[in-house]
Structures are given as structure tokens and as C-alpha cells.
Amino acid sequence: MTKPERAALRSGIPRHEQVSEWIRECIAGGLFSKDDQLPSESRLVERFGVSRITIRRALQTLENDGLIYRRQGLGSFVRDQQVRQGLVRLTDFAEDMRSSGIEAESRVLHYEAEAADERVAEFLGVGAGTQVMRLDRVRLGDGEPIAYDRTWLPMLYAHLLEGRDLAHATIYSVLEREYSIRVERGRFRMEAVNAPADIGHHLGVPWGRALLLIERLTYTEGDRCVYFQQRFYRSDRVAYELELQRDDASRNNVGLPIREFEPVFKRS
């Protein structure tokens, strides 16, 4: 490639950022599609007139952002674009996956009554030691493990799930469609945790790997707790994005209202 054919670089912006931005625009514009191979490092060096180190730094940025993947000895390829679904409304796992174009599946690993410890009892509004039902499921997206759910239900609601195929039916669908018990609201708490050995095994990640833990309390009419749930998301398969909207109230230091709050699911 001759010098006049080189891509023009702007001053004041790091060169590796300009290279990665050009590739981003090519992907967004459809020039490169899923699993397409990007130009080689040598071609990119020639195109931009920069060092190989600069090109590798740009590619590393794109890989970290989940836009490309690299294969040793073969080069860099475009990942399938991440799919998004909104979480401002209250949804269950199957609804999240369906709206994201991902096929949902569950595997039931545990479904037995047990004595509630103090924390679970407090959340469910029962006495410590009260019998509750614990449901453990691995949640799959397109056949790959994405999350591990551990759910505790008061026996009142657990009895309504008896005989149901919880590998396919969701708690929401059984309660709402069959018993007209509406799920009214939910409370969430998020934190990063290290993968316990048993959960890591079922998610296909090593012990101690960082997971995103979402604790969820779901309520029906009369502010009655339907269940307390811990969902362990694989951190390489989901991230959350938050958008705030500045308005008159926020300008008066009341706070920024949430406009969008959504998980971004990454296909493997």
C-alpha cells in the first residue's frame, strides 16, 4: 500500500485508539460480519503507518470489549454482536433470554425442603428453622451455562409448584397463569463474588473465578414475599449497563432517574 492510501490519523488522539475506532466503525457498518477475519497485523501496520505494537494494543482493546476474538496463528475474527434486553421491567430468566434471541433451558439439580437459616427466614418473613423449599437450577442460553440459581420459597407457594416441570416452566408462569398470583415488584442487590467450588463446577468455570451475584426478593400482592433468590452469573457472559437521564429534578440535586438498566448477554 502506498503512502497516499494510508488511513489519515488525527493528532491529539492516541494512535491505537484511532485504529480500534476504525475497526469498530467497520463492524458497526457491516463491513465485517460475525466470524469474518480482520485484516492481518501486517496489513493494518501498512494501512495506518504505525508500529505492530500499536496494532496489537488496538486489537487487545477490541478483544477486551468483546468485539473480536483471536486465534493463535490465524488472526483476529469478529465476534457475534452482544445482545441486549431491558431490565427496567420485572422479568424472569426465560423472558430475558427470549427477548435477547437466546434459547433458554434449565436443569433442576435440587428441589427439597430444608430448614431456613436466619438470613433466608428474614427475607421470606418466616421464623428461623421454618421449613422452606430450596430449588437449584443451572440456567442455559443456547445450550451453554450462563447462570446458577438458588431459590428459596415459602411452602405456601412451593406447594403450588408441585408436579410442575421446572426445567421448562418458570415460577412466574406457573403462579401468574395458573393461579393468577401476580408478581408485583422485586428488589435486587448485586456484588462480585468468587465462585464456590460446586457452583463453579456447574457453570464450567474454575473455583475462585469472579461471578456476578444478584440477590433478588420477589413480592406479590399484600407485600408477601414469593421467593428469595441468589443468581450467580458467569462474568464472561453478562455485564450490566446503566443510563441515567438528567432532568429538572436532577439539576436540583434530587438525583438522576434511571432511564435504562440492562444486562448485556455475550454469546460464546
Q: Of the given ranges (19-23, 63-67, 151-155, 163-167), which has the lowest mean pLDDT?
A: 63-67
Instruction: Provide the residue range defining the domain that includes 40.
Output: 3-78
Same domain, 25 and 141: no
pLDDT digits (tens, 9 = 90+) for 122-138: 999 999 999 999 999 99
Same domain, 137 and 208: yes
Q: Of the given ranges (2-6, 28-32, 126-130, 157-161), which has the lowest mean pLDDT?
A: 2-6
Same domain, 60 and 149: no
Average pLDDT score over residue span 212-231:
91
Domain count, the chain: 2
- Specify whether the CB–CB gap between 146 and 214 falls below 8 A: no
Same domain, 159 and 192: yes
Residue 91 is predicted with a pLDDT of 55
Same domain, 125 and 170: yes
Among 28, 45, 78, the domain-final residue is 78
Q: Of the given ranges (26-35, 49-58, 97-106), which has the lowest mean pLDDT?
A: 97-106
- Max avg pLDDT among 104-113, 184-193, 254-263: 104-113
Same domain, 159 and 193: yes
pTM greater than the 0.85 cutoff: no
Report if residue 73 sits inside a domain: yes
Report if residue 259 sits inside a domain: no
Among 62, 78, 94, the domain-final residue is 78
Q: Is the pLDDT of residue 256 over 80?
A: no
Q: Of the given ranges (2-16, 43-57, 147-161), which has the lowest mean pLDDT?
A: 2-16
Q: Bigger pLDDT: 99 or 77? A: 77
